[in-house]
Structure 1
Amino acid sequence: MQPTKLFVRLFVKSTVWLAIMVFLLFFPAGNWHWVQAWAFLAIFAGGSIAFSAWLWHRDPDLLAARLGPLLQRGQPLWDRIFLVAFVFLWCGWLVLMALDAQAWHTSDMPPLLNMIGGLLVIAGFTATLLVFRENSFAAPVIRVQIERKQRVIDTGPYALVRHPMYSAALLYIVGMPLLLGSWYGFLFAPVMIAGIAQRAVFEERLLKRDLPGYGDYLTRVRYRLVPGVW
C-alpha cells in the first residue's frame, strides 16, 4: 500500500474509533469530568500512536494488514460472526461500564484498583508490542496469508504460549473495568475471555489444517493463553 494511502487510512480509522469510544463512554455516563475515562482514552490513544509509529517504520505491511477490513476473502464464516459479535459486545461493554460507574453509581471502587487497572492496560499494550515485534502476520482476521507467505512463528512470546496476542487481550479485559471503576464491567469480563478462548481453539484447527508446520508447533508449545494454566 502506498504511504499516503496508508497514512490516510490510519488517521481516519484511528480518529473514528477514538470518537466512537468517547461517545460510548461519556454519553451514557452524562459526565464529561469522568477522570478515569479520560485516563483510559489517553492510554489508548498514546498506545495506538506508539504502535502506529513503530509499525510505520519497522513493519508497514503489518500495519496495512491491521488496518484492513474485518471481513475478508478467505476468512472462515465463524470468524466473521465472531468479529461482528465481538465488536457489538465490546461497544455494549463500554456503555455498561459508563452507566455503572457514573450514571447509576452502583460501583464504588477504590482509587488503588483504578491505578492497578491502568497499569494492566499499559501492560497489555506492552505485551502486544512484543507480539508485533515477533510476528509480522499478526492481523486481526484469521486466515492463512498466502500472499505474504505466512509461516509459523515460534520465537519470543510464541515460545511460551500459542496465542500471546490473546494473552495480552486478557490484560486489557481485566484492566479496563478496574480502571473505569465498574464492578459490573469486571463481572462481564469472563464472557469476553471465554469468547477469545474459543476463538483460539478454532484458530488452531484452521492453522493446523492450512499452515505447514503448525501441527508440529502445537506439540512443542503446550499452553494457549496462560503458561502453566491453559
Structure 2
Amino acid sequence: MQGTQQQKPAWVWTRGRIIKLFTAIALYPLCLCGVSGRWSWPQAWFIIFDQLLLYTLTAVYISRHNPSLLPERERFIRNAGTAGFDKVLAPAVVALALPMYLAAGLQQRWHAALLPATPAWQLAAAAVLHVLTVLLACWAMTTNKFFSSVVRIQTDRGHVVCDSGPYAYVRHPAYIAVVVQTLAEALLLQSSWLLWIGAARAAVLAARTAAEDAMLQQQLPGYAAYAARVKYRWLPLVY
C-alpha cells in the first residue's frame, strides 16, 4: 500500500518497546525449554531464534521506513474504528499463541502423545518451511504500510489498497504464513497439542479473513477491483 508522507520520530525505540522486546525474548525459552525442562532442545531454540531475529529486524526496518505503523500496531483493539468482529477475533488470535508453546513444552515434559519421531530430512524441510513462512510474514509487514494489528479502515493514515509484494499473489499472505508456520513448529517439536491449538487458531484466522475481506470490499476504495484481480485469499488455486 502507498501511504501519505510521515514524519520520522527522533527515537522510535522507546523504553516500553525495549521492555516488550526483552519480555518476548524471555517468554519463548520459558514456555518451551523452561516448561519442558529441556534447555538443550535444538528444535525449540531454532524456532526461538528464527522468530526473534527476523521479527526484530522487521521492527527495525519498519521503525526506519514506516514509523507511524508502530503505534498503530501497539494500540491494538484500542484503535478507533476497529471493526466490531475484530474486537473478539483479534484478541482470540493473540490469546491462542502462548498456549501453543506452553502445550508443546508440557507435552515434552510429560512425554504425552507426541507425534512420531520425525526423520532428519523432514526436520530439515520443516526448518526451511519455518524460515520461509516467517520471511513471508515479514515481507507482508514491510510491504503493507497499513499492516495494523486490527481490522479497521485507517482513514487517519491515508489508507489505500496494497497490491505489491506478496499481495500481488494472495490477498492475506500473513495469515497463511502463520498457519503454515504453526504446522512447521508442530513437526519440529513433535507436538500434537500444539497442532490442535494451532488448528483452532487457524479456524479463527479463517473467520477473520472472511470478515475482513468482506469489510474491505465494502468500505476500502479500490479493494473490490483488487479482489477481482487477485482472486485468492490465502493460497492460489485453493482459497
TM-score normalised by structure 2 residue count: 0.86
Residue in structure 1 matching 2:173, options 164, 171, 185: 164
Q: In the aligned structure 2, how far is the partner of 1:3 from the partner of 1:117? A: 40
Residue in structure 2 matching 1:203, options 212, 216, 226: 212
Whether the 8 Å CA contact 1:161–1:223 is kept in 2: the answer is: yes
Unmatched 5+ residue regions in structure 1? none
Cα deviation for residue 191 of structure 1 reads 2.1
Corresponding position: 1:150 with 2:153: no
Provide, for residues 156-204 of structure 1, a one-character-per-residue CA deviation record: whole Å limited to 9, x for no partner. 3212111112122223121111222213323443322221111011001
Q: In the aligned structure 1, how far is the partner of 2:75 from the partner of 2:142? A: 19
User: Higher relative contact order at CA 8 Å, sep ≥6: structure 1 or structure 2?
Assistant: 2
Q: In the aligned structure 2, how far is the partner of 1:118 from the partner of 1:10? A: 29
Provide, for residues 129-148 of structure 1, a one-character-per-residue CA deviation record: whole Å limited to 9, x for no partner. 32234211111111011111
Q: Which amino acid aligns with 1:167?
A: I
Corresponding position: 1:100 with 2:107: yes
Whether the 8 Å CA contact 2:171–2:234 is kept in 1: the answer is: yes
Corresponding position: 1:127 with 2:140: no
Whether the 8 Å CA contact 2:93–2:205 is kept in 1: the answer is: no
Find the counterpart in structure 1 of residue 117 from structure 2. 109
Whether the 8 Å CA contact 1:173–1:192 is kept in 2: the answer is: no
Residue in structure 1 matching 2:33, options 19, 26, 39: 26
Find the counterpart in structure 1 of residue 73 from structure 2. 66
% identical aligned pairs: 25
Find the counterpart in structure 1 of residue 232 from structure 2. 223
Q: Which amino acid aligns with 2:223?
A: Y
Find the counterpart in structure 2 of residue 91 from structure 1. 98
Whether the 8 Å CA contact 1:151–1:212 is kept in 2: the answer is: yes
Cα deviation for residue 225 of structure 1 reads 0.3
- Partner secondary structure for residue 144 of structure 1: coil
Q: In the aligned structure 1, how far is the partner of 2:176 from the partner of 2:35? A: 30
Q: In the aligned structure 1, how far is the partner of 2:173 from the partner of 2:237? A: 14
Cα deviation for residue 85 of structure 1 reads 1.9
CA RMSD of aligned residues (A): 2.1
Q: In the aligned structure 1, how far is the partner of 2:71 from the partner of 2:117? A: 39
Q: In the aligned structure 2, how far is the partner of 1:25 from the partner of 1:142? A: 30
Corresponding position: 1:10 with 2:17: yes
Unmatched 5+ residue regions in structure 2? 1-7
Cα deviation for residue 8 of structure 1 reads 2.8
Cα deviation for residue 209 of structure 1 reads 2.3
- Partner secondary structure for residue 67 of structure 1: helix
Find the counterpart in structure 1 of residue 52 from structure 2. 45
Cα deviation for residue 105 of structure 1 reads 4.8
Q: In the aligned structure 1, how far is the partner of 2:167 from the partner of 2:22? A: 31
Whether the 8 Å CA contact 1:159–1:221 is kept in 2: the answer is: yes
Corresponding position: 1:182 with 2:194: no
Cα deviation for residue 75 of structure 1 reads 0.8
